[in-house]
């Protein structure tokens, strides 16, 4: 009987040791997975920080430019506006974003006749993917005044796909 009891005790100890080994193995696996996740989170946080810093630097550059700059989507809606463009046109950025640039600043010729959107060189860059330049045109301010501009409308192409245009312009009345 003593022998049977000792054998049962050894079997019990073997089972406990086996469970202990399985637990240690699982804990080690969990620790390795946790370390891997911690590395991935740290790398992602670093990438996000770098992305924010790059975004901030690009905004600083765009907002420091003396020329007006605005971006358009494929439909001619404003996607971004720099400080100079906002100051020259009198429109706040938030008022311009998502709206058709043509209706905001390019709707009328200097003589008062309508400037048709389909004939707009700026919009053509969004449609045909070509650079369009104008040395003699005008933009309109929020207050209803106009000023002479020259501009370049350059298509934005991403992996061969036309996405919109970027327009760089200057107020010719300040440089005459």
Average pLDDT of span 149-170: 96
Where in the sequence is the domain holding 42, given as residue range(s)? 1-64
Q: Are residues 50 and 74 both part of a single domain? A: no
- Check: CB of residue 84 under 8 Å from CB of residue 69: yes
Average pLDDT over residues 142-154: 96
DSSP-derived secondary structure for 62-105? HHH-SSEEEEEETTSBEEEE-HHHHHHH---HHHHTTSBHHHHH
Say whether both 44 and 78 belong to one domain: no
Find tokens 């810093």 and name the residue. 53
What is the separation of C-alpha 88 from the centre of its chain, rounded to a whole number of angstroms?
24
Residue-wise pLDDT tens digits, 44-82: 999 999 999 998 888 888 888 889 999 999 999 999 999
On whether both 40 and 113 belong to a single domain, the answer is no
Do 79 and 147 fall within a single domain?
A: yes
Nearest to 123 by CA among 135, 110, 132, 113: 132
Instruction: Provide the sign of the torsion angle of the four alpha carbons 33, 35, 40, 41, taken in this order.
Output: positive
**47 lies in the same domain as 79:** no
**Residues 37, 78 share a domain:** no
Answering whether pTM is above 0.85, one says: no
- Secondary structure class of 159 (helix, strand, coil): coil
Q: What is the pLDDT confidence band of residue 154, given thresholds at 50, 70 and 90?
A: very high
| 144 in the same domain as 79 | yes
Looking at the 3D structure of the chain, how many domains does it have? Answer: 2
Question: CATH no. for residue 70?
Answer: 3.30.450.20
- Assess whether pLDDT exceeds 90 at residue 104: yes
* pLDDT higher than 90, residue 35: no
């Amino acid at each position: 009987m003593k022998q049977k009891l000792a054998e049962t005790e050894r079997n019990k100890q073997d089972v406990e040791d086996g469970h202990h080994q399985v637990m240690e193995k699982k804990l080690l696996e969990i620790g390795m997975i946790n370390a891997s996740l911690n590395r991935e989170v740290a790398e992602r946080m670093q990438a996000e920080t770098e992305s924010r810093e790059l975004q901030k630097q690009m905004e600083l550059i765009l907002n420091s430019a003396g020329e007006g700059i605005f971006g358009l989507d494929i439909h001619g809606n404003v996607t971004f506006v720099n400080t100079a463009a906002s100051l020259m046109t009198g429109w706040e950025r938030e008022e311009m974003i998502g709206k058709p640039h043509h209706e905001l600043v390019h709707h009328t010729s200097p003589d008062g006749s309508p400037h048709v959107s389909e004939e707009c060189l700026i919009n053509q860059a969004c449609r045909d993917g070509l650079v369009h330049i104008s040395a003699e045109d005008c933009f309109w301010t929020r207050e209803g005044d106009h000023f002479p501009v020259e501009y370049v409308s350059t298509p934005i192409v991403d992996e061969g796909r036309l996405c919109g245009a970027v327009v760089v312009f200057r107020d010719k009345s300040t440089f005459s």
